[in-house]
Each structure stands twice: as structure tokens, then as C-alpha cells.
Structure 1
Amino acid sequence: MAVDRLLPTTEAADLIALAREIADKELAPRVDEHERAETYPEGLFATLGAAGLLGLPYAEEHGGGAQPYEVYLQVLEELAARWAAVAVAVSVHGLACHPLTTFGTPEQQERWLPDMLAGEVVGAYSLSEPQAGSDAAALACKAERVPEGYRITGTKAWITHGGRAGCYALFARTAPGPRGVSCFLAPGQADGLSFGRPEEKMGLHAIPTTTAHWDGAVLEADRLIGAEGQGLQIAFAALDSGRLGIAAVATGLAQAALDTATAYANERTAFGRKIVDHQGLGFLLADMAAAVDAARATYLDAARRRDAGRDCRRAASVAKLVATDAAMKVTTDAVQVLGGYGYTRDFPVERYMREAKVMQIFEGTNQIQRLVISRSLAAH
């Protein structure tokens, strides 16, 4: 079901319509095949890039769409309503572009950004490590200065698009302490870089998540983004935007579950009536609809704050928390609406339920979001 959106411009409405058309044509027909077979959708990100959907919130001078985050996130939601794994990868690509667009030099931006925004080079984000997930200050992967640039040694974990991406926003330690982490734009292939076997996940099967092993690979000095020691500042600035992306993806996933459950409830009969007309089920669907609408309103509020240049850290955490918790509840309730059929692979709601779970975990667990929110309250 098409969402009735309030969009700021006619151009934005046309862009959402284009995204919906591409999602219906390129994503919806392929999702079941690739998710079940756990195969990568070759060529799909080039298609999205050619349509301009991978660089929407970035400047036109480098090939971006110059769209406000309010519009970009609604495009992500449309993609997620058809294929959550692809939408997550698009969000992560945007996250990988953020350090370069915000902290890169004009020369670095001119060299790498056009290909990234056009989708010719898909980016991934490499912050987490096996023993340093939410605690980014505990990173151990090292970047040692050498005459050729920086020698990278260590292991990174939980990389969406790992082994498939053309470049990585890589965070590695150049000095001890929390101010000793630096950011690099690393190439997708390098001598001394290898990737582990893709993780066997509950969901999001079509896009690999892997570890990366850096065994003395050397990066040129000009791949340092920002100054040495500025890495955590860069990472945390990007994560606010990334959390908004995941909030939008979770909302799209919840919308898909609601649409499937509503369609089923309007077709299935029990005791001589459509099951939607039974109050117990009708009220369950009403709660699901309210949760989806609330999630959308929350991420849009945060996006508008970001677009206005206001501090959106707390709002981004609220949006990520509300939207992903809503997605978990709505997808679980969708399985309940379909009853026994919901527990089978004949309908997509069991996949939606599996996909929703990780959204409460990545881009900072929801416990971390509560910590961010509570600290903002304590500061006043």
C-alpha cells in the first residue's frame, strides 16, 4: 500500500514516486529468491546508483542529489518495504560517504566522491571489532606510520557489504587512548586485506556481513580522512545519520508487515466474517498501524532537525529506538495475524520478523540509544 506522505516539494514527490517504481520493478520481484538462496543481487546497486538513489543527501557538485534528509529517509523507507537487506546496504553506503563529505579535503572529495555517489563504488563502514562493538574507544586495529603511508594491522567485524564493497570507511588506532583513533578511506582490495566467511545470520541474507583481516596492508597517506586522532569524532558524527537511516529502514519493514497482515485479514474469513471485522484482530491491526505511523513521525522529526542544522543526536537515538522496537513488535504481530500461515515461508512475515531483530542491535544497540537519551536528560 502506498504511504500517504506529506512532502516538501513537487520534486520530492516525484523522487519518492521514482523510488517506489524502481523498488517495485527491481527489488520486489527478486527479494524472495535471493534471501532464500542467500545470493548477492549482482548489478542491483549499479541500477540504484544510475537512478541517483545512492547519493541523495549529498551536494550536486560531486554528483549527489542535494536532497534534504527528510526526503532521503523516505526513499530508504520505500526501498526497505520491498527489500530490507538492500535498504540497509544503501544506508550503510551513505554512512561510508559521510566522513569524506564532512571531513575530507576538496582534493579527496573530488577524487573519490563522484564514483561513490554514482554507485560505481559502493562503500561500507568498518568501525566495529570482535571485542569492540558499542565501545568504539576500545578499538585495537592499528594504523602505523610508515614511509609509504599507514600500515594497517588487526581485525574488523560486522561489516555490511564486507568483501563486496569498493571502499571502506575504516577506523584504526594511530595512538593510545580515546583520542588515538583515526579514519581512513580504504580500498576494497589491497595486498594484506582478506575477508572471513560471511556470517550465518537470522536474516538479511542477500547482503554479506563479514570480518576483515588487515595483515600489514599499506594505505597511502592521502587516504587519511580528517586529522590523526579525529576518528571517533568522525565516527560519532556519522552514526547520528546512520541511526536515522536504520530508523527509516525499520519503518519500511514494519509497513510491509502491516500491509501483508492487513491484506490477509481482509481476505481470510472466520465464523462467517472477515477476520479484520473481529474486534480482537482489528484492534491488533490498529495498534500495528499506530506503531508504524509513530515510527515514521519520529524519524521525520529527527530528520527535519538535522536539515535545519540543529543538534539531532538525541532525536536520532529516539528515532532509532522507537522505530526498531516498533518494527520488532509489528512484524511479530503480523505473524500472529496470519496464524499458522505466518509461521511458514509461504508468506513473507516470518522473514520480516527475523529481519527486524537485528535492527535493535546495529548502529548502536537500543540499550546504547537509551543511554544516549538518558544522558541528554541528565545534562539539563
Structure 2
Amino acid sequence: MSVDNGVQTYAELLDAAFDEKVTAWTEQAEQTQRFPRPLLEHLGTAGVFARKWERRKQTDLHDHFALGRHLGSLGSAAIGVGVSLHDSAIAILRRFGRNDFLTDLAERAIATDAVLCIAASEEQGGSDLQNSETRIFPENGGYRVVGAKKFVSLSPIADYVFVVCRGVGDDLETGGNVALAAVPIEQVEVGEPYQKLGAGPLDTAPITIDARIPEEALIARPGTGLAVISWGLAHERLSVPAQIVAACDVMLGVTVARMMDRSQFGKKLIDHQALRLRIADLQSRVDVLRYALDGVAAEGKINLRTAAALKASAANLGEEVAAECLHIFGGIGYLETHTPIGRWWRDMKLARVGGGTDEVLWELVAAAMKPDNERYQALFTVTGNPTH
């Protein structure tokens, strides 16, 4: 696919791609509560994914965060998450797709001729991917995949679903031996999309799987799947903070404008010190998050624990910003027909759940923490005996 759009930088390409059509599709999606596949195809035609990936196995994080910020500025968590999920599946194929079938599927996804989604969570397991009850076993020179998934976003519009599963010889109580398979949507029964608290247009539905796939559709054999799906999840978790930074900028900007327009007790809301300083604190923390992303991008490494820390921290900050902005809007913020603030507040809750809950992510961070035993001993040992 040609990516020569007469645009010199990726940032300029994104500015051109996120045009009035994307805005219109986003607004329509919030009304219909359905994800607009034409929006995703438009981004593919504009070269958004082709320029981002080029021939690389790993994306440039400056580009990754730039795309995330453009998605966050749309004011729709559903659109942002949906596009980033498709891109995360591309990340898996680019690094681990080593045969012609998977290489071709990656190119089709980059061109958005094929839309990808990821099926991980199950009703009993949630984020516990090592205990997936969906099974994969050899059959007639290929594989059979059997099981069910509870929350599969984009499944109603996808062409392929990447199914997290486990080898048939494993004890269901033991866990581990995870695999990942690319299953065509034609071999999957997609249920009715859920009516959700927020992010309505992010078509999320249950699926039932009884599929037969060729050998080359196995992305990760049993025992390697957890590392592979974790790579994809890291891309999603790194996109979320960039989306939240942009979404917070939108919410804070609108709220400051409201504070400069609305008067209470004889003066503008912005002139009430308590409100003004509360917003200043939030803006400062959003700016710090923005600078943190710049630092991670400059380092250029995709680290699973860094991704977890950024996503969890950003999600909590985003939820706080959304709640405070809704509070400052007062009663009018609760009117769905007057402002989108209430919807933004509901949407932001998804950030603390989707792609790994806070607790799952903090466990990843905790696992990397190291004690400074030498300093501890020097500070707290007296005549050879530790103090308590």
C-alpha cells in the first residue's frame, strides 16, 4: 500500500486523516451506539497504520502516542479504544506473525481490508488469561478451537478474532500453557452487543467458538501465548494514557471555559479560589503525564511494566478529572441533552477496567520492585542487630 500522501510527518498525516468525516462518524456512533467500520477503513486508506508501521516489527512510540492523542481528542472512548484494539492486534502480527498467512493478514489489517479483534476475557476468568477455559487441539493437520468469550470488543464488525486459548492436555485447575489463534469470524457465533454503562459504540459482545483453522493460523503455540498476548496488551495499555491526556485536555478546556462564563454569588466561577486551584492541580498532573509519555517515547522501549504503570496511573487521573469537571458543571452536567460531560465521565470508568484492571496492573509493577537491602542495613542496624 502506498503511504505517499504528500504529507511530510506522521503528525501532519494524522491531522489530515482526522478530518470532518471522522468527526461526523464519531458523532453518529454516539447516537446509534454502533462502531463505524467506515471510520476505521478511512484511517487505513489515509495511511494512518501504514505510515505508523512501515516495515517495522515494533512501532515508534512517538507515533503511537500521537495516534492515541488524536483518538482521545475525539471525545469518544469507544472510538479511541476500538481503533487502538485493532492496532494492538497488528502489533502482535508484526512481531510474531512468521508465516505467509499471518504476514498477509497483517498487511490486510494495516490497509483495513481486514478488521481484527482480540478475545481474551471469559465469564469466570476475567483478566486471568492463564486459566482460560477455551481449548485448542490438533485436528486433521490443523487445529480446532472450542470455547466461549464474554467481552469481545469489535467482534460484530471484525473479520478475524485472536482467541486466547489453552492446550487440550492441560489441567483446567493448573493454568498456563496459553496459545493464541487467529479465527475467522465466520466460524464464530457473535452474540448481541451489550448495553453498557459507557463507551456505548464500542461494539462489545459475547462469542461462542467452535472453529477449525489451518496450522498457519496459529499465532502462538501452547506455552508461548501469554507472552504474545501480553505484547499486544502492552500496546493497548500504552495507547490509553495518550488518549486520556487528550481527553483530559478536552474536558479541562471546556470546564475552564464554563468557569469563565458562569457566575455564582456575584462572580465568575473561575474567580472562586477553591475551584480555580482544584482545576490548576488537575491540569498540572495531566501535564506531568504528558511529559512522562514524552520520556517513554524518547527511550523507545516497550516495557510491559512501564505500560502497566502508565495505564493504571492515567486511568485514575482521568477518572478524577472527569468527576471534577462534571461536578463543576453542576446540575447542567447531568442533562444528557445539554452537555457530553456525563457521557465522558461514564466513558472514563472503562479505562480502569478494560485492558487489565488497576489491581492486575499494579501487581505487574509490584513484581518488578527491588529492595535496597544494603541501604536498609546501613540505616537501621545498630551494633549488628536490626531495630524493630
Partner of 1:237: 231
Give the SS at the match of 1:246. Answer: helix
Quote the residue 2:61 is aligned against. 69
Return the match for 1:325 from 291, 316, 320: 316
Query: Equivalent residue for 2:94?
Result: 101
Q: Is the 8 A contact 2:84 2:239 kept in 1?
A: yes
For residues 150 and 329 of structure 1, what CA distance do their matches in structure 2 show?
Answer: 46
Give 1:314 shift.
2.2
> Superposition pairs for residues 149-168 of structure 1, below 5 Å?
149-168=142-161
In the alignment, structure 1 residue 289 sits paired with structure 2 residue 283 = yes
Kindly indicate whether the alpha-carbon contact (under 8 Å) linking 2:121 and 2:149 is maintained by their aligned counterparts in 1: yes
Among candidates 354, 362, 373, match of residue 365 of structure 2: 373
2:199 equivalent to 1:199: no
SS in 1 for 2:186: coil
Q: Which residue of 2 aligns with 1:263?
A: 257
Alignment of 1:125-144 (within 5 A): 125-144=118-137
Query: What do the CA deviations read for 1:25-74 (whole angstroms, capped 9, x no partner)?
Result: 1333443442233133241111111112234542337xx9x861122212
Runs in 1 of length 4+ with deviation above 6 angstroms?
Answer: none
For 1:164, the aligned partner's letter is: I
Does residue 185 in structure 1 map to residue 182 in structure 2? yes
Taking the aligned partners of 2:340 and 2:285, their CA distance within structure 1 comes to 19
Letter in 1 for 2:340: P
Q: CA RMSD in A?
A: 2.4
Out of 296, 300, 317, the position equivalent to 2:294 is 300
Q: Partner amino acid for 2:36?
A: P
Q: Distance in 1 between matches of 2:303 and 2:366?
A: 15
Matched, 1:222 2:213: no
Could you say which residue in structure 2 is the equivalent of 1:147?
A: 140
Deviations 1:55-96 (A, max 9, x none): 4542337xx9x8611222122122222132111111111111
Equivalent residue letter for 1:243: R
Counterpart residue type for residue 120 of structure 1: D
Q: Give me the whole-angstrom Cα distance separating, in 2, the residues matched to 1:261 and 1:87.
A: 22
Q: Structure 1 CA distance, aligned partners of 2:351 and 2:7?
A: 27
> Which one is further off, 20-29 or 112-121?
20-29
Alignment-derived partner of residue 3 in structure 2: none
Q: Bigger shift: 269-278 or 98-107?
A: 269-278
For 1:302, the aligned partner's letter is V
Counterpart in the other structure of 2:248: 254
Query: Aligned-pair distance for 1:376?
Result: 1.0
Report the count of equivalent residues: 361
CA contact (8 A) 2:97 2:103 kept: no
In structure 2, do the counterparts of structure 1 residues 110 and 229 end up closer, same or farther at CA, with 3 Å as the change threshold? same
Match of 2:204 in 1: 209
SS of corresponding position for 2:53: coil
TM-superposed deviation, 1:115:
0.9
Instruction: Using the TM superposition, give the Cα deviation of residue 99 of structure 1 relative to its aligned residue in structure 2, in angstroms.
Output: 2.2
Aligned: 1:359 with 2:356 = no
Which residue pairs with 2:48 in the alignment?
53
Residue by residue over 1:201-257, the C-alpha shift from the partner in whole angstroms, topping out at 9 and shown as x without a partner, is 11111121111101x321111101143321111112222222111222222222221
Q: Which residue of 2 aligns with 1:314?
A: 305
Quote how far apart the aligned CAs of 1:21 are: 4.6
Alignment partners' CA distance in 1, 2:298 and 2:312: 17
In the alignment, residue 189 of structure 1 is paired with which amino acid?
E
Cα distance in 2 between the residues matched to 1:260 and 1:27: 21
Residues 68 and 235 (structure 1), Cα distance of their counterparts in 2 relative to 1, 3 Å cut? same
Letter in 2 for 1:173: R
Q: Does the 8 Å contact 1:164/1:188 carry over to 2?
A: no
CA distance in 1 between partners of 2:87 and 2:32 (Å): 27
**23, 26, 36: which is aligned to 1:28?**
23
Q: Which amino acid aligns with 1:124?
A: C
CA 42–275 in structure 1, closer or farther in 2 if over 3 Å, else same: same
Partner of 2:377 in structure 1? none
Conservation of the 8 A alpha-carbon contact between 1:57 and 1:69: no
Identity over aligned pairs, percent: 23
Which amino acid is 1:172 matched to? C
Query: In terms of mean alpha carbon deviation, does 178-187 or 135-144 score higher?
Result: 178-187
Task: Check 1:350–1:20 CA distance in 2 against 1; reply closer, same or farther (3 A cut).
Answer: farther
Instruction: Select the structure of larger CA radius of gyration.
Output: 2
Cα deviation, residue 329, structure 1: 0.4
Q: CA shift at 1:280, angstroms?
A: 1.7
Q: Secondary structure at the match of 1:43?
A: helix
Change (3 A) 1:324 1:217: same
- Matching of residue 89 in structure 1 with residue 82 in structure 2: yes
Q: Which region of structure 1 is more displaced relative to structure 2, 171-180 or 46-55?
A: 171-180
Q: Matched residues in 1 for 2:96 and 2:293: separation?
A: 25
Within 2, Cα distance between the matches of 1:285 and 1:188? Answer: 46
Alignment TM-score, normalising by the size of structure 1: 0.88
In the TM superposition, residue 124 of structure 1 has moved relative to its aligned partner by 0.7
1:31 to 1:263, Cα distance in 2 relative to 1, 3 A: farther
Query: CA separation in 2, counterparts of 1:157 and 1:55?
Result: 31
Q: Give the secondary-structure state (helix, strand or coil) at the position aligned to 1:170.
A: strand
Structure 2: runs of 5+ lacking an equivalent:
1-5, 373-388
